[in-house]
Amino acid sequence: MLVRVGNKKKWFTASWLEGSAVHMIDQRLLLFRFKIVALKTHKETAEAIRNMTVRGAGSIGAAAAFACAQAVLECRQKDWPKKALKGFERIANTRPTARDLFFAIERIKRAVDGKTLKEAKELAVQEAKIISREYQVRGKRIGEHGSKLLKHRARVLTHCNAGWLALHDWGSALAPIYIAKRQRKKVFVFVDETRPRLQGAKLTAWELANEGIEHAIIADNAAGFFMQHNEIDLCVVGADRIANNGDVANKIGTYEKAVLARENGVPFYVAAPTSTFDFNCRSGKHIPIEERSEQEVLLVTGYCRGLHNVRIAPKKSKALNPAFDVTPAKYIKGIITEHGIIKPKRSSIKKLARKCRK
């Protein structure tokens, strides 16, 4: 997407490969500072995925593909393919809930399996760049299908960040809003702040402001209030993994929004590319949930003559910090994919899986 940097607008994706180095926007610094980091090894890129320099399902997938390509490029004849496989394992251990991470690793593995080192280096880079371009295409198609749900002057609730920063270019949950704007529809977005990392207040709001889309940041606990007062027409969120029965893992707090939406008669949609579906996962009960550091809950990062972490809880207090929750399929009106809007049920997802295998 176009981003204003200084006095100029430039086109960026969340990450890209130049030679053997992965370049990415450091999302931890937004909205306070726009910085591109260059990661020279697969270990550095894996750490960037783990520490959320890059985050969001599709962007994690693209970064993982680039990291796998780096792992292959770093091999010498005497340690091929053992060293690459060890690198793939390191990348796989960074974010356990994100299905796109494993989707990308599996794609690179298949591309290089049984190949000579020379062939593998060429094919790994080629496949990683293909995966990156696919995310761009998928995001736009999700936007085109999802925009049909948005009437002129629609009022939409989002949770976390599922824009171009999270899906490499167009996004998932925000893509329909971006396409609707280009169709000259006016859309107002209620942006959940999304504790504890505030991806809504920082990243989604930053994206929407950059696009000139009217929005307001709301406290996570305020969503029910606005639904109850008939001020929200529909909810659209992203996903980190979707089971084959339609259960969806997404940023912590998504489940609460879905329950509130059902209670108040507000349609609740999930937007995700097919790479986020785990066709071998029977239900949300089988999705691993990442536990992150308690410091994300106990501290808040702000800007005052530089970035600072400020403690907001008693020193003796501990915190629990599950990064995701699972929304049962019964609360979901539909899932917006690059192939169209499907029902969150096994039969629909089985048909989708067949399309993906062609």
Residue 4 CB contacts under 8 Å (≥ 6 apart), including other chains: 210
Residues 220, 240, 278, 325: which is the catalytic one?
240
* CB half-sphere exposure, 41, CA atoms < 13 A: 9
Residue 142 CA from chain centroid, whole number: 14
Question: What does the alpha-carbon distance between residue 275 and residue 273 come to, in Å, rounded to a whole number?
Answer: 5
Cα–chain center distance at 222: 23
Burial label, 90 (beta-carbon count in 10 A; 0-12, 13-18, 19+)? middle
Neighbours of 33 (CB within 10 A): 11
* Alpha-carbon distance values, 19 to 66, 126, 197 (Å): 11, 12, 32
Q: What counts of helices (H) and strands (E) characterise the chain?
A: 12, 17
Can 100 be counted among the known catalytic residues?
no
Catalytically active residues are 240
